[in-house]
Homo-oligomer: A and B are copies of this chain.
Amino acid sequence: MSTEKIPYKIYLTEEELPRAWYNVRADMVNKPAPLLHPQTHQPMDLEGLSQVFCRELARQELDDTTPYVPIPQPVLDFYRMYRPSPLVRAYCLERYLDTPAHIYYKFEGSNTSGSHKLNSAIAQAYYAKEEGLIGVTTETGAGQWGTAMSMACAYLGLQCSVFMVKVSYEQKPFRREVMRTYGATVTPSPSMDTAVGRRINAQFPGTNGSLGCAISEAVEAARKPGYRYVLGSVLDQVLLHQTVIGLETKAALDKYHIRPDILIGCAGGGSNLGGLIAPFVGQKLRGEADMQILAVEPASCPSLTRGRFVYDYCDTGRVCPLQKMYTLGSDFMPSPNHAGGLRYHGMSRLVSQLYHDGLIQAAAVDQTSVFAAAVEFARVEGILPAPESGHAIRVAIDQALKCKQTGEEKNIVFSLSGTGYFDMAAYQRFNDGTMTDQIPTDEQIARSLAQVPVI
């Protein structure tokens, strides 16, 4: 251990900011399996992917050999508006828990999108602009991705059309309003604006919508000249951009000679976790360092801990490519828990491969215990976490308490991926004592897994 005094917040200077994203696939022996075409089941190539995504992003999706991808200067300039994000030493939480562990968190919530999502949104908007596009389409569930994409598009003068899961659109009118303030068009999904939306509305009158349905609508809406579809998680291109989180975290830790013993991140589609851990996984793969890495998912949507590692569809409408991943089946409908960002039926193929190869571990936690941890954290550390981030906090606290029992002075590092300002209805339910845990039965999971295609 260094005896140097570690500040409450470790900030990098602008000169120390990463200049390139790190593509961990270049160091992986077992690469993530290729994406497959939804009809032909053949590996997707650049031409195929470019029909949906910007060409440069499609290229990034396919590239599993280039270790460092330079961050374009305009993206760096944008990053400088809200990055570096601080790596915070949670002195107050340590005192409160009375633990010998040293707890650090990388705080990604101090930008208006309220989360790490902006790191990839600006990159995707930049490549869209470079390609000469007019605008992009996307979907949003919890609203963080839609907000981030709206901000990035406003900055670059691109149109942004967001399909927002209808129940979120109605329950989170203020999220919608932030996107509108940033100039985006927000449409409740399923809508009557797309063929797939009309079909779903006819089939399920009065449906509240789902992320899978909103994805299908956004992909269809992108099929016009000058538009492409963008996605906020799951894809390798997104995880690539998010490595700015991990690279900054590693640089900040290195600055004070801190070696992490445990890394923790919440995992929905895997973008936040994948971004945090990439450079550390790289160290493990190259044999330079070792540490425990924990992916935390909600017990109500346990893709890693109870899913199967197979090829599956990425969306309910089955219009997107298939990927080999831990999945609960694309028909799996998680209970309406309050971490909208962690309700995806699958997991990034990159994170899935790392988990399959034993490089990372996973834990599933109950919603009420997550909110209990989030409230404890808020009261001692001052930051109100997003419910998603609360999952990482829960496990970080548990690990710190374990250190208290064993007397170990471990360095625990977790990602505080976002803030909970637009999730107060969930906090209210917790404060009122009316929140419940909703765990799927084995039969329920088996039923949706039975729909997984045989490939």
Binding site for B on A (CB under 8 A): 7-9, 11, 13-14, 77-78, 80-82, 88, 91-92, 110-112, 114, 151, 154-155, 173-174, 177-178, 180-183, 375, 378-384, 419, 421-422, 424-425, 427-428, 431
Given known pairs A8-B14, A14-B7, A427-B181, the reply for A155 and B382 (CB within 8 Å) is yes
**Chain B nearest Cβ from A325, distance in angstroms:** 33
Given known pairs A151-B382, A378-B181, the reply for A110 and B110 (CB within 8 Å) is yes
Cβ of A8: which chain B residues have Cβ within 8 Å of it?
Answer: 14, 80-81
Q: Please, how many angstroms separate the alpha-carbon atoms of A174 and B424 in the complex? A: 5
5 interchain pairs, CB-CB under 8 A: A8-B14, A77-B91, A110-B110, A173-B424, A421-B421
Copies of this chain held together in the complex: 2
**Contact in complex: A383, B112 (CB < 8 Å):** yes
Given known pairs A92-B81, A173-B428, the reply for A112 and B378 (CB within 8 Å) is yes
Q: Please, how many angstroms separate the alpha-carbon atoms of A42 and B29 in the complex? A: 82
A424 contact from B77, B81, B178, B382, Cβ within 8 A: B178
**Contact in complex: A427, B177 (CB < 8 Å):** yes
Given known pairs A13-B7, A14-B8, A182-B378, the reply for A384 and B112 (CB within 8 Å) is yes
Q: Please, how many angstroms separate the alpha-carbon atoms of A428 and B180 in the complex? A: 8
Cβ of A375: which chain B residues have Cβ within 8 Å of it?
Answer: 181
Q: Please, how many angstroms separate the alpha-carbon atoms of A445 and B13 in the complex? A: 51
**Chain B nearest Cβ from A264, distance in angstroms:** 20
Q: Please, how many angstroms separate the alpha-carbon atoms of A313 and B8 in the complex? A: 43
Cβ of A112: which chain B residues have Cβ within 8 Å of it?
Answer: 378, 382-384, 419
**Chain B nearest Cβ from A382, distance in angstroms:** 5
**Contact in complex: A81, B382 (CB < 8 Å):** yes
**Chain B nearest Cβ from A372, distance in angstroms:** 12
**Contact in complex: B382, A111 (CB < 8 Å):** yes
Instruction: List 16 extra interface pairs beyond A8-B81, A81-B381, CB under 8 A.
Output: A7-B14, A78-B382, A92-B155, A111-B382, A112-B383, A112-B419, A173-B428, A174-B421, A174-B424, A174-B425, A177-B425, A178-B421, A178-B424, A181-B424, A182-B379, A183-B379
Q: Please, how many angstroms separate the alpha-carbon atoms of A129 and B111 in the complex? A: 33
**Contact in complex: B379, A177 (CB < 8 Å):** no
**Chain B nearest Cβ from A11, distance in angstroms:** 5
**Chain B nearest Cβ from A334, distance in angstroms:** 24
- Nearest B residue to A122, CB-CB: B382
Cβ of A182: which chain B residues have Cβ within 8 Å of it?
Answer: 378-379
Q: Please, how many angstroms separate the alpha-carbon atoms of A431 and B183 in the complex? A: 9
Cβ of A177: which chain B residues have Cβ within 8 Å of it?
Answer: 424-425, 427-428, 431
Cβ of A181: which chain B residues have Cβ within 8 Å of it?
Answer: 375, 378, 384, 424, 427, 431
**Chain B nearest Cβ from A8, distance in angstroms:** 4
Q: Please, how many angstroms separate the alpha-carbon atoms of A166 and B312 in the complex? A: 52
Q: Please, how many angstroms separate the alpha-carbon atoms of A383 and B425 in the complex? A: 23
**Chain B nearest Cβ from A431, distance in angstroms:** 5
Q: Please, how many angstroms separate the alpha-carbon atoms of A181 and B380 in the complex? A: 12
Q: Please, how many angstroms separate the alpha-carbon atoms of A9 and B86 in the complex? A: 13
Residue among A181, A419, A431 facing the most chain B CB atoms (10 A cut-off): A181
Cβ of A424: which chain B residues have Cβ within 8 Å of it?
Answer: 173-174, 177-178, 181
**Chain B nearest Cβ from A348, distance in angstroms:** 26
Cβ of A154: which chain B residues have Cβ within 8 Å of it?
Answer: 378-380
What are the nearest 6 A-B pairs in CB distance? A174-B424, A8-B80, A154-B379, A421-B421, A177-B424, A112-B384
**Chain B nearest Cβ from A186, distance in angstroms:** 11
Cβ of A155: which chain B residues have Cβ within 8 Å of it?
Answer: 92, 379-380, 382
Cβ of A378: which chain B residues have Cβ within 8 Å of it?
Answer: 112, 154, 181-182
Given known pairs A110-B110, A112-B419, A424-B173, the reply for A180 and B379 (CB within 8 Å) is no
